[in-house]
Amino acid sequence: MYIRFSSVVVLMVMMMRESSGQKQPRHIVFIVADDLGWNDVGFHNPDMKTPNIDKLARQGVILNISYVQSVCTPSRHSFMTGVYPFKAGLQHVITAEQPVCSPLSMQFFPEKLQKLGYSTHMIGKWHLGFCNLECTPTRRGFDSFLGYYNGKEDYYNKTTLNGIDFNDGIKAIPADNRYSAYVYAERAKHIISNHNETKPLFLYLPFQSVHEPIEVPKRFEDMYKHIVNDDRRKFSGMVSAMDEAIGNVTQALTDNGLIEDTLFIFTSDNGGWTDHGGNNYPLRGGKITIFEGGTRAAAFVSGSGIKKKGSTYEGIIHAVDWHPTILSAAGSSDDNIDESIDGLDQWQAISHGTESARNEFVYNLDESLLSINGHAAIRVGDFKLISGYPGPYQGWYKPAQESKGKGSRDVSVQQNDYVTIGYKDLDRLNSTWSGDGLYNLKDDPTEHNDLSKELPDVVIKLKAKLDEYRKAYVKPNSPKNDDKSNPKYHGGHWMPGWC
């Protein structure tokens, strides 16, 4: 059962806020970076130029053990519904031509924020299905939407595959050939400047950045002239372009007197894609893989309500937790948090630095891949079990950014066990995995030491836990492509309404 809020609940929330001296719930800005790696932000890697992101992170709480799914759609479904993707058949990404979306029976948290009196706006990437009008953002909790429905597109002309994917609400709009980070920051500034001050604001900013294609204005690329590798240099510039956009948003909140009452949440949707400039060093693996490099997010919370500012939080958080946690931060009472979802309310824990509400989670459950043993992993306490094939990126990859001249290193060689090149050959290099992998992540966060042979009892225990979760397993809902989606039938645009 998915609980819907009534006008009585809204009134109660407002009365509680007024009695505590706060006239209305805090504003919330939820920023999601696409394919941003653990090693792609300044607060993890000083080589990255991200002053705005770093300032927010260091003034707030850096989340050191915050998890997401290993690819886009499953993470976004987790954020919105608070339900594990394997319970919704959304273990895979939704492609442009597939007649499917995140289940309409599962209520998105922005719908609940609307019932709490929030103005809700979305700018950026959706990737939760769009074939039916009911699947689109403005039917699932957002007052406005500017962005695109699919998984990737050109940063300038807004095309993907054979059509334009650029929308204002459900209306297709022509591309203006401006870099998307500029467009999205300008829309955010417009929303903030025109916000009705009698209502709290929720702004969802799932940037296109830094997903491939690797495209960036030259002035950002020139910030990294010392990087020889083209992909890494341009990718780094893409990160800095997103950082500037975030700085423009925070400045707009400051200029309009909203900054002091605003809570910022920042996370990547999965690990960096090592084929396309992203980097997760020293974590193992990358996007698509259920090692830590594919699933452990660069993340933080900052601003209104954060008590232990300037700290690092070591409690476990998972993508499904953002649904109830954001509702709690918005002032929703415990009685209005849906206990049937998988997400746990972590607001008290992360805002006050207390013990996490979570001790275990499932990385993934997928028995449809071309693998004998499936594709699954679970963490309970400090132990992580990988059962079956973990995915194609199984090494430790240093960023390909060595400088020319004195002190430079030849990136064509392997240094110890840290592979520095050959990203596009990883499927071939890492196709021999078999059996189980057990890791103590407290002692070995980079997953070097497989303990499965030493601790068979722990393997048995964690496999039993996975079997319990399998009782709720729904096989991936990946229908065949439908030609009715073709942009040639919709004026050259990717549009909803064909399923």
DSSP string, 125-189: E--S--SSGGGSGGGTT-SEEEEESSS---TTT-EETTEE--EETTEE-------HHHHHHHHHH
Q: Tell me how far apart the alpha carbons of residues 243 and 238 are, in angstroms, rounded to a whole number.
A: 9
Please check whether residue 396 is in contact with residue 418, taking contact to mean a CB–CB distance below 8 angstroms: yes
Q: Tell me how far apart the alpha carbons of residues 494 and 131 are, in angstroms, rounded to a whole number.
A: 9
Q: Tell me how far apart the alpha carbons of residues 480 and 474 are, in angstroms, rounded to a whole number.
A: 17
Q: Tell me how far apart the alpha carbons of residues 278 and 494 are, in angstroms, rounded to a whole number.
A: 28
Q: Which two tokens stand for residue 290?
A: 């259920």
DSSP string, 209-233: TTSSS----HHHHGGGTT--SHHHH
- Would the CA dihedral through 332, 334, 336, 338 be positive or negative? positive
Catalytic residue among 27, 44, 72, 318: 72
Strand, helix or coil at 424?
Answer: helix
In sequence order, the 6+-apart residues with CB closer than 8 A to the CB of 354 are 348
206, containing H or E segment = strand 201-206
pTM for the complete prediction?
0.91
Buried b (16+ CB within 10 A) or exposed e, 82-118: bbbbbbbbbbbbbbbbbbbbbbeebbbbbbbbbbbbb
User: CA of 206: how far to CAs of 76, 184, 439, 470, in Å?
Assistant: 9, 10, 32, 31
Tell me the chain's radius of gyration from C-alpha atoms.
Answer: 22
Strand, helix or coil at 368?
Answer: coil
Catalytic residue among 27, 44, 121, 127: 127
Q: Would residue 72 show up in a list of annotated catalytic residues for this protein?
A: yes
Q: Which two tokens stand for residue 102?
A: 């995140």
Q: Which two tokens stand for residue 380?
A: 């309970």
18, containing H or E segment = helix 7-19
User: CA of 317: how far to CAs of 327, 337, 363, 409, 419, in Å?
Assistant: 15, 17, 12, 37, 29
Residue with tokens 């960023």: 399
pLDDT along the chain (499 residues), means of 10: 39 43 82 98 98 98 98 98 97 97 97 97 98 98 98 97 96 94 98 95 98 98 96 98 98 97 98 96 96 98 96 98 97 75 97 97 86 83 95 90 40 32 42 79 97 97 97 95 97 96
Phi, psi (deg, nearest 5) at residue 375: -145, 95
C-alpha neighbours within 13 Å on the C-beta side of residue 223: 20
Strands 167-168 and 262-268, by their bridges, are unpaired
Strand, helix or coil at 70?
Answer: coil
Residue with tokens 């690797």: 214
Please check whether residue 393 is in contact with residue 293, taking contact to mean a CB–CB distance below 8 angstroms: yes
Q: Tell me how far apart the alpha carbons of residues 156 and 183 are, in angstroms, rounded to a whole number.
A: 10
Beta-bridged to residue 425, according to DSSP, are: none
Q: Tell me how far apart the alpha carbons of residues 354 and 315 are, in angstroms, rounded to a whole number.
A: 8
Of 248, 358, 347, 308, which is closest to residue 25 (Cα–Cα)? 347
Please check whether residue 380 is in contact with residue 462, taking contact to mean a CB–CB distance below 8 angstroms: yes
Strand, helix or coil at 242?
Answer: helix
Please check whether residue 169 is in contact with residue 229, taking contact to mean a CB–CB distance below 8 angstroms: no
> Domains plus CATH for the chain?
25-358 (3.40.720.10), 364-403+410-470 (3.30.1120.10)
Q: Would residue 131 show up in a list of annotated catalytic residues for this protein?
A: no
> Running DSSP on this structure, what letter comes out for residue 354?
-
Q: Which ranges of 275-345 does DSSP label H, i.e. alpha helix?
A: 292-295, 322-329
Buried b (16+ CB within 10 A) or exposed e, 271-300: bbbbbbbbbbbbbbbbbbbbbbbbbbbbbb
Please check whether residue 148 is in contact with residue 478, taking contact to mean a CB–CB distance below 8 angstroms: no
Phi, psi (deg, nearest 5) at residue 144: -145, 160
User: CA of 366: how far to CAs of 369, 373, 438, 470, in Å?
Assistant: 7, 10, 18, 10
